[in-house]
Structure 1
């Protein structure tokens, strides 16, 4: 993490961060998710995944707070999803204890597997329902696994997003629930990085800078949402994630 200020001294990396966060914000503006997944996936091509995760803290936190605040059922969702949200925190900190220092190759392998699993489920349109009697237990398990994946790869979506989709929430409540889940994941990851000494003022400043292109991308995405076919856009999104995940698996096995 000490080389991050030098990293930003390079104009090429500076431009990369701007373009990545514009793209990631645009995807989030169109479909309501994808900012951390896209940003971590692309930035990790040129820096360690945890450095990319540190850059993501401010843009992810503020855009997700904005997203969860726009829905109609925040209090009800907080009550219903509290087992999952507590599990995210527990899983993040448990992973930090179990895997104090993660080998870069293993982190790349985990990131590749998470991206491919998420992309495969999206392309296959896999959907199921969570029985009411099992929801609390599955919610806690899902949160714990999500926290562990977040702590090792920086990706928030697995398996939290498929679980939330299985709750049969209406569109607005689903987007709000994802914003709530991502906000808690971001905060838990920030605490984990700070406790490990991987989050300092230099990183915080760089992360704050990344907020601007992320917000610009979200505005572009919201404008494009009315002109694009959502199904086609999602298919291209998941195909891209699958290819990115395959790239990480190839690099980890090399």
Structure 2
């Protein structure tokens, strides 16, 4: 435990405070709209630390909150059957991407993170709702999983193109929430394995990530309370606008 606190002492009070506030904010957004925790965590922490260090911090909060989301609803068995090929390729793609690229694989790492955030934000703001013919799921699902895995390995962001693909499947609200939780859980676990393979996820990093579970859960509870009192549609639009600005900044400044 002393080594965990030493991790935050090494960061310094300003950066440690940024980490805590980031997970509070990310948890709040997830509580309101059902997604966004790893995306916000990677985006904001990517401004101040290497992407691999930011990704290591999100492993425990992301895994726990996604399992919480995954547990809601009664569609897990059917979703596992339907999404199994995509999830398998997502896991494989993340491991292959980690071996090939790695999340800190060059000076372009932050630009790649910025590009992923910007692409997701633009899709969220202007992307038209797609409806995928069921006959195309057999090949498009695994392809989306593979690409998402490579993007996850390079940036720590799980959403492109997995989220647009899942949104094209005409799932009802409960199925969609559970499908997102399932996809994000697999992505997080695969990312953890990839980071461990790069020696970026030791015991100290996991302990530091565990400490961020409390602010993430507190933020989620606040977000669920807030969801009953504000327009979720307006909140989501503001979220994507902010994400686009953050992604553009990372893309330009690196």
Fold match, TM over 0.5?
Answer: yes
Cα deviation digits, residues 55-94 of structure 1 (max 9, x gap)? 0000000000010001220000011000110011111111
Give me the CA root mean square deviation.
1.5
* Secondary structure, counterpart of 1:105 in structure 2: coil
CA deviation after TM superposition for structure 1 residue 5, in Å: 6.7
CA–CA distance in structure 2, aligned partners of residues 100 and 220 of structure 1? 34
Task: Kindly report which structure 2 residues correspond to 1:100-111, keeping only aligned pairs within 5 A, or say none.
Answer: 100=102, 102-111=104-113
Task: Kindly report which structure 2 residues correspond to 1:48-87, keeping only aligned pairs within 5 A, or say none.
Answer: 48-87=50-89
User: Any runs of at least 4 consecutive aligned residues in structure 1 with deviations exceeding 3 A, and if so which?
Assistant: 3-7, 100-104
228, 231, 234: which one aligns with 2:230: 228
CA deviation after TM superposition for structure 1 residue 6, in Å: 5.7
CA–CA distance in structure 1, aligned partners of residues 124 and 154 of structure 2? 22
CA–CA distance in structure 1, aligned partners of residues 54 and 99 of structure 2? 21
Task: Kindly report which structure 2 residues correspond to 1:156-175, keeping only aligned pairs within 5 A, or say none.
Answer: 156-175=158-177
Match of 1:123 in 2: 125
CA deviation after TM superposition for structure 1 residue 218, in Å: 0.0
| 8 Å Cα contact 1:48/1:104 also seen in 2 | no
CA–CA distance in structure 1, aligned partners of residues 4 and 211 of structure 2? 13
Does residue 8 of structure 1 match 2:8?
yes
CA deviation after TM superposition for structure 1 residue 123, in Å: 0.6
CA deviation after TM superposition for structure 1 residue 108, in Å: 1.0
Structure 1 gap segments, 5+ residues each? none
CA–CA distance in structure 1, aligned partners of residues 207 and 105 of structure 2? 26
Task: Kindly report which structure 2 residues correspond to 1:1-254, keeping only aligned pairs within 5 A, or say none.
Answer: 8-9=8-9, 10-100=12-102, 102-252=104-254
Alignment CA distance shift 1:215-1:78 (3 Å)? same
Alignment CA distance shift 1:100-1:29 (3 Å)? closer
Q: Given the two structures, how large is their TM-score scaled by the length of structure 2?
A: 0.95
Structure 2 gap segments, 5+ residues each? none
| 8 Å Cα contact 2:73/2:174 also seen in 1 | yes
Q: Given the two structures, how large is their TM-score scaled by the length of structure 1?
A: 0.95
CA–CA distance in structure 2, aligned partners of residues 104 and 225 of structure 1? 40
